[in-house]
A and B are shown apart, each in its own frame.
Chain A
Amino acid sequence: MSTAPEHPPDERPPLTERATVRLHLVGTALVVGVGVAVVALVGSALFGDVTAAVDTTFALGSLVFGFGLLGWSGAVALGRGIEAMQDHLDTRTGWTEPDARRAMTRILGFGLGVMVGTMLVGSVVFGSIF
């Protein structure tokens, strides 16, 4: 259940380095998400109803973001426990808590990117963000 450190405290990289790695992880996924949202909305503007497309794209983005956030916090909260359970039941699948966290960070970053991208395009279409 608990989140034991990946490295012993004295061997862990400095805080700034860790922060940079995490920002890079989220940032890359976020930029990809923004790009996907913009392309999807521009495409739908050419062929159909923009308002409905904005609503659907944002909802899909929040779905991905929610899934990623839930998966990330689930991995943090239960990851070690799940690993221990798999060890005890001899049902190891190669799933690890750090890998799950990284994957979920990318997913939530992508979802957030789609939401931000939709907001940007939507605010251009509707005139203002609010």
Chain B
Amino acid sequence: MISTRFVLKRLLLLVPVLVGVASLVFAILHLSPGDPALTIAGERASEEFVQQVRESLGLNDPIWVQYGRFLVDAAQFEFGESFIIQRNTPVSEVLTNKLPVTLELAIYGQLIGISLGIPLGILSAVKQDSFTDHTTRIGALAGISVPIFWSGPLLILLFAQVLGWLPTSGRISVLYNVEAIRVTGLVTVDTLLAGEWEMFISAARHMILPATVIGIYSMALISRMMRSSMLEVIRQDYMRTARAKGQGAKITVLKHGFRNAMIPVITVIGIQFGGLLGGAVLTETVFAIGGIGTLLVEAIKVGDYPIVQGTVLTFAFLFTLVNLGVDITYSILDPRIEQ
């Protein structure tokens, strides 16, 4: 049973994280070249009009007043309207449309990573120094070392161009109108909810390559961690006792070893989620999926500051939420953590 005090303490940590990220975003945007008022007004606008825009944005106030206002707005997730990418559209609306794309990618990538990484790590530990172990370790090292912008195009080349099994880009075939059945924004879930099997298969086929690219990296780290953690657990006295009492090797590993070996692995999964969100920027670009990652890059390029602020803080919020989930899982596996 998880104590409310523990969860509250972890939730409180959200505050400094978000204030820290907000401060960093504020500083970077103020230190970067370019004038938001001039960007909104346009290069050919008169000086009076630019001044009006500056006044309306509050850019003429002292910088600490702007900072305070920014923190208050950030606390309410209120970032105003996009002034370039989707002109006059609230940032929250833009993020609501784009966030599910990246989330879907990260979730499936993580699922692939966990479902492959954990069994491979266990196998590698149980068969230490065997051919299987060496192959898995080489695979894990390769997975960590190969960058997404290289593995992505190679997988496209093999599975889409040469074999023709999977589509090269996008989230779903252009023949389908996924907006008509939008509920969660996750196309695989929405198509399932609507009972549109053909659409679901199309969405799933589109998801395989990008999720695999992200999943390979995730799998590599998880399997490596699982291996070392399981190796440590296997050498414990209680494991030897269980075997001495006549328990089968598989049951001993899965019943007694697995739970204890999972603790550091769960930590890695949580820490890695931030990397997955970051990796999604590259994956979205390679597979032409318009998610929050590509939105952020585009916003930085054109100087759409409200979008940059909103996106970065959403990333930070998601990351801390995932880590809260990890902490709770951690305390379920080992209740001593709560002390």
A residues near B, CB below 8 A? 1-2, 4, 54-56, 58-60, 62-63, 65-74, 76-78, 81-82, 84-85, 88-90, 115, 118-119, 122-123, 126, 129-130
Contacts and interface: CB of A to CB of B under 8 A. Distances in A.
A34 to B, nearest CB: 14
Per DSSP, are chain A's interface residues mostly helix, strand or loop, or mixed?
helix
Given A69-B23, A70-B24, A1 B326 contact: yes
Contacts of B175: none
Contacts of B232: 88
B245 to A, nearest CB: 28
B337 interface: yes
Interface string B312-339: 0000000010010011001100000111
A62 B225 CA distance: 37
Contacts of B65: 130
B67 to A, nearest CB: 6
A129 to B, nearest CB: 7
B225 A88 contact: yes
B27 A73 contact: no
Interface of B: 10, 13, 16-17, 19-28, 30-31, 62-65, 67, 224-225, 228-229, 232, 263-264, 266-268, 270-271, 320, 323, 326-327, 330-331, 337-339
A54 B16 contact: no
The 6 closest A-B pairs by CB, nearest first: A66-B23, A70-B20, A63-B27, A69-B20, A81-B267, A66-B24
Given A59-B30, A81-B270, A85-B225, A129 B62 contact: yes
Contacts of A84: 263-264, 267
A85 B267 contact: yes
Contacts of B264: 81, 84-85, 88
